[in-house]
Chains A and B, each alone.
Chain A
Amino acid sequence: MRGVTKSFGPVAALRGVDLEVLPGEVHCLLGQNGAGKSTLIKVLAGVHAPDAGETLWRGEPVAIPSPQAAIDLGIATMHQELDVIDGLTIAENIFLGHELERAGVTRRAEQAATTRELLARLGHGSLSPHTEVGSLSAAEKQIVSMARALSHDTRLIIMDEPSAVLDTEEVANLFRVIGELTAQGIAVIYITHRLEEIRRIGDRITVLKDGASTASGLDVATTPTDELIRHMTGRAVTNVFPTRPGVPADASVLLDVDGLSLDGVFHDVSFRVRAGEILGLAGLVGSGRSEILETVYGARRATSGTVSVDGRRLPRGSVAAAVDAGLGLSPEERKSQGLILDEPIYRNVTLSSFAATARGGILDEAAERRVADEQIAALELRPADSSRAAGTLSGGNQQKILLARWLVHGARILLLDEPTRGVDVGARAEIYALIRRLADAGHAIVVVSSEIEEVLGLADTVLVIGDGRLLSSVDSSEIDEHGVLDLVMKGTAA
């Protein structure tokens, strides 16, 4: 394989992209949301046909008119939403569409043997080929997806944000597997938002911005981070996190969580959040962070403990009561838990606050648009067109829709679960500034994030969670990333 070169004529989504991938390298594709990464890989995978430009595969010009054509060439794609079928076994998933068969009867033993081989090659030899995929973790499903890619004679694997669903240990295994693949001469196109991952496994980087490649084939080892960010945003990003003004000592406690427990998930968690304070929950995936948030919110019914707002206790397990009391949750999975994707922005914004925009159960659409437009302007939501379907917006702007929803509602306590997941680097700083501004305006905010740096940079106070227990509560200026990890390791070992 000599490499793949691609260039496009003036198209909306992709305006002249060059990408060259060498055998056995990890080529990172970097760019903000909407930069054209997804479109580019869909062209490579045969989902979209390019309007102009050419693709060279091992030096020969080729056309990739269909996904099957891409597979035949040796190009496999692992999509962000894992495309495995839960009801089938691992082996059945891997051979889906190209089953080993004789006269229409699948050769199960052979498939199982090949599957075992593939799984072993990927460092998961302990998995049985007959395990139903639905019972696997996200990381294991990813392995299955990868095994499927390898079951063809694959020379190039495209991975679209594979680490998004993984915790630290699983990411390490993923990287190990990628290392083995490249050692066999297989090329990997790796798409990610996380710069530190590029540092760890990337060989070269291509940066996309607004559908064009702003830098091609940069060497990972010699390119400084700020140069990458400059290529992505067209500006240098410094001091991403807003400054902390400090919470006034006399600020009133808005949210008081006392001895909250959920059997089997977390135990005896207590904390208080004052007006103007940002509280961060740090911990590994699976430590119970999100569950704590959801239980405070009433989306899960606590087995013991109390949640009080302004000194008034909330009934257990009632979201509606929590919302009435002034809590608002921006859930971890914005698309599946937060938004009605087909509905316009303004209807998503007013979903929780018909008191302000409806009288006696009768809607006032003009009022709805007005309050939504106010928030769109205040939060600098783009595009500033409240009748656009929520699903067409970028991650950062979808996050703003949820913030707008609670601001319209008049929520004073905001629970933000992974507020920057799926939000690109440039837009993150904006979200951070926004969250701080809301705190300064007197909101009490609880932030959960799997990125410890984010919690430390944003929060006034940090709660370290490990294995469903509160390990420590510290001022965020008194602890660093290592300190948090240290606590987590010790706490869970004990």
Chain B
Amino acid sequence: MSTQTSAPPTPRASRPSAVNRILSGPVGRNLGLVVALLLIVVVGIATAPDTFANLNNALTILRQASVIGVIAVGMTFVIISSGIDLSVGSVMGLASVAATIAAVQDVVEQSHWLVMVVIALATGLVAGLINGIVVAYGRVAAFMATLAMMVGARGLAEVLAANRTLVISDPGFKRALNVDLLGVDVLIWIFAIVALAGWFILNRTTFGRRTVAIGGNPEAARLSGIRVKRHTMWLYALSGLCAGIAAVMMLGRTTAGTSTHGLLYELDAIAAVVVGGTLLAGGRGTMTGTVFGVLIFATLGNVFVQNNLSSSVQAIAKGVIIVIAVLLQQRFAAKPGR
């Protein structure tokens, strides 16, 4: 039935079941993620009781989640708008190199390590803007435009780095990004702040609302007066900026820039976003889901490491989880009202 006009709000009673309805709501989808995460935690506790279940290990998991997490926050916006950004890993590598080449390090020596941060962020932003301009104004499919950037940015990073690892000499930078605040690594704080900001932008600002509108129905968004092209451009810029932030975090963790930073991170980020319940077709998604998606993969990886299992086995498990998650998503996220 396509419509119900004036009937009192009873006809919903004939829907399959109340349980199904709860599970299909936003609460239900995140509930599933909570359950999945708990399951993995239980497996971790059961298989590696001594090494898994302690605060230090929890912080390790969060630290490992943080870099991908920041990228996934930007990716969430792009995917909700029904786009995709394959370039984030490469852009991160490029930003990592751009911020640590000799010329920049010389300037840092005379001024402040913040110059490196600014250059990394600016590199990400500019690369994202280029993506956005090509996608929005050049009308190139997002997959192709960002694929080109993925290849090109990696190549440029290699040229700039000239196959060397660019060790950071400035002690201030290393200190600043390895500091603990309230016992928690600064990288985790950065992830938390970016995720919260992402949640706020998505749910509480006109930018977020317009993103959902564009993903849900781009033509309706355009005819309602939203500047869809300009908005799309900024979405990719945002994703690029997140890649730049991730590069800074990576530099803090490794204290060196290299063109291989962020290799294949785009795939991990996309997987986390999709497992988190964001529709690849756009129009629907949550930041909370994305954070859970990131945590699920990070925790899973940790459980495998604790049990001395190879990364190949881990990759297989990841693949299985992605398929299951997407299958469940289709089951519960049957589109209402169409």
Contacts and interface: CB of A to CB of B under 8 A. Distances in A.
Nearest to A347: B209
A129 interface: no
Interface residues of A, number: 50
A270 interface: no
A63 B49 CA distance: 58
A294 B262 CA distance: 46
A34 B338 CA distance: 14
A147 interface: no
A268 interface: no
B248 interface: no
Given A34-B1, A383-B4, A405-B224, 5 more contacts: A339-B217, A340-B221, A342-B336, A363-B204, A363-B205
B209 A11 contact: no
Contacts of A394: 2-5
Contacts of A393: 3
A82 B150 CA distance: 40
A329 B223 contact: yes
Contacts of A395: 3
B205 A361 contact: yes
A336 B205 contact: no
B13 interface: yes
- Which 7 A-B pairs rank lowest in CB-CB distance, beginning with the nearest? A391-B337, A323-B225, A394-B3, A12-B11, A340-B216, A34-B3, A389-B337
B337 A392 contact: yes
B13 to A, nearest CB: 7
Contact of B11 (A13, A340, A363): A13
Interface string A326-358: 000101000011111111000100011010001
Interface of B: 1-7, 9-11, 13-14, 203-209, 212-213, 216-217, 219-227, 283-284, 335-338
Given A34-B3, A351-B224, A389 B336 contact: yes
A378 interface: no
A338 B2 contact: no
Interface of A: 11-13, 32-34, 36, 38-39, 210, 297, 299, 319-320, 322-324, 329, 331, 336-343, 347, 351-352, 354, 358, 361-363, 382-383, 385, 389-397, 405, 409, 427
Contact of B216 (A342, A352, A427): A342
Given A340-B213, A341-B217, A382 B336 contact: no
15 contacts: A12-B14, A33-B5, A34-B2, A336-B220, A338-B224, A340-B216, A340-B220, A342-B338, A343-B213, A351-B224, A361-B205, A363-B206, A382-B5, A389-B337, A427-B5
Given A33-B5, A340-B221, A11 B338 contact: no
B160 to A, nearest CB: 36
B56 to A, nearest CB: 39
Nearest to A39: B1
Given A339-B217, A340-B213, A354-B206, A397 B227 contact: no
A352 B206 contact: no
A320 B225 contact: yes
Nearest to B205: A361
Contact of A319 (B2, B9, B11, B223): B223
Contacts of B5: 32-34, 382, 394, 396-397, 427
Max chain B Cβ within 10 angstroms of own Cβ: one of A329, A337, A405: A337
A330 to B, nearest CB: 9
A319 B225 contact: yes
Contacts of B224: 323, 338, 351-352, 405
A392 B45 CA distance: 46
A362 B221 contact: no
A33 B3 contact: yes
B335 A351 contact: no
Given A210-B7, A382-B6, A342 B283 contact: yes
B337 A342 contact: yes
B329 to A, nearest CB: 14
B115 to A, nearest CB: 29
Contacts of A397: 3, 5
Contact of B336 (A36, A323, A354, A392): A392
A363 B337 CA distance: 25
Central interface residue in A324, A393, A396, by most chain B CB within 10 Å: A393
Q: Name which of A392, A394, A396, A409 has the most chain B CB atoms within 10 A of its CB.
A: A392
Nearest to B213: A340
Given A382-B6, A395-B3, A340 B212 contact: yes
A358 B205 contact: yes
Contacts of A324: 225
A341 B337 contact: yes
Nearest to B217: A340
Contacts of A351: 209, 213, 220-221, 224, 226
Nearest to A396: B5
Contact of A383 (B9, B14, B209, B225): B9
Contact of A12 (B10, B208, B216): B10
B286 to A, nearest CB: 13
A338 B14 contact: no
Nearest to A14: B1
A245 B41 CA distance: 73
Contacts of B283: 340, 342
Nearest to B201: A361
Nearest to A358: B206
Looking at A340, A358, A409, the one whose CB has the most chain B CB atoms below 10 A away is A340
Contacts of A358: 205-206
Contacts of A329: 223
A383 B9 CA distance: 8
Contacts of A390: 337
